[in-house]
Structure 1
Amino acid sequence: MIVRTLDEAARSERRIVSPDGNWESTRMLLKNDNMGFSFHITTIYKGADFRMHYQNHLESVYCVSGRGEVETLADGRKYPIEPGTLYILDKHDEHMLRAFEEMQMACVFNPPLSGKEVHNAEGAYELEAEAIGA
């Protein structure tokens, strides 16, 4: 059994802050935990407005707190994000995420992240990144 607290993980190398200042993510469950997915608690800072395109991963995102929107770039549709909203990037959707307030999100990635990933120039995570604890 694996047991971790968000507080403990946030005080460790599992907490990653984006170089662009849009978000921070505490990676609660990672590839080396051998569960087949990773689980993160991510804070999107108020005013963040950035493009992502997870070409190598599928992601589900559940909004715990805050408000914003996600826009799918293929069709320009905008979806409000508020507590209780789940959005699923099931087609590797290229999208914009905007935070009108600070948002706390629970995120699941498949395949799992190794731990130290940040977005590349295309807004994606690489398949093989440096692992936490490696």
Structure 2
Amino acid sequence: MIFRTLESAEKEGRKIVSPDGNWDSTRMLLKDDNMGFSFHITTIYKGADFQMHYQNHLESVYCVSGRGEVETLADGKKYSIEPGSLYILDKHDKHVLRAFEEMKMACVFNPPLNGKEVHNKEGAYELEADTID
């Protein structure tokens, strides 16, 4: 069995802060845990407004707290994010995420992340990234 707390994961160096200052993500479960997915608790900072395009991963995002919106760029649809809502990027959707308030999100990635990923210039995570030591 694997057991971690958010606090212990942060102390173990599993908290990654985006270079652009939009978010931080504590990677609770990673590729080397051999579960076939990764699980993260991510904070999107108030005022964040940025584009992502996960070309190599599928992601599900559940909002625990805060408010914002996600816009799918292929069709321009906007979806309100609030506590209890889930959005699923099942088609490698290019999207924009906006935080009207600080948002706390629970995120699942498939395939799993290695640990130190941050978004590349396309707004994606690379498949072969550094692991957490």
Question: Which TM-score band applies after superposition, normalised by the shorter structure?
Answer: over 0.9
Deviations 1:56-102 (A, max 9, x none): 00000000000000000001000000000000000000000000000
Which runs of at least 4 in structure 1 moved beyond 2 Å after TM superposition? none
- Cα deviation for residue 12 of structure 1 reads 2.4
The residue identity in structure 2 corresponding to 1:92 is H
- Cα deviation for residue 13 of structure 1 reads 1.2
**Structure 2 alignment gaps of length 5 or more:** none
The residue identity in structure 2 corresponding to 1:11 is K
| Superposition map of 1:1-134 within 5 A | 1-133=1-133
The residue identity in structure 2 corresponding to 1:130 is D
Q: What SS does the aligned partner of 1:62 have?
A: strand
Q: What SS does the aligned partner of 1:9 have?
A: helix
Q: Distance in 2 between matches of 1:31 and 1:12?
A: 16
Q: Distance in 1 between matches of 2:125 and 2:7?
A: 25
**Structure 1 alignment gaps of length 5 or more:** none
Q: Distance in 2 between matches of 1:122 and 1:92?
A: 12
Q: Distance in 1 between matches of 2:105 and 2:11?
A: 18
The residue identity in structure 2 corresponding to 1:99 is A
The residue identity in structure 1 corresponding to 2:118 is V
Q: Distance in 1 between matches of 2:47 and 2:11?
A: 25
- Cα deviation for residue 11 of structure 1 reads 2.1
The residue identity in structure 1 corresponding to 2:109 is F
Q: Distance in 1 between matches of 2:30 and 2:55?
A: 19
- Cα deviation for residue 125 of structure 1 reads 0.2
Aligned residues: 133
Q: Distance in 2 between matches of 1:82 and 1:91?
A: 22
Percent sequence identity over aligned pairs: 83
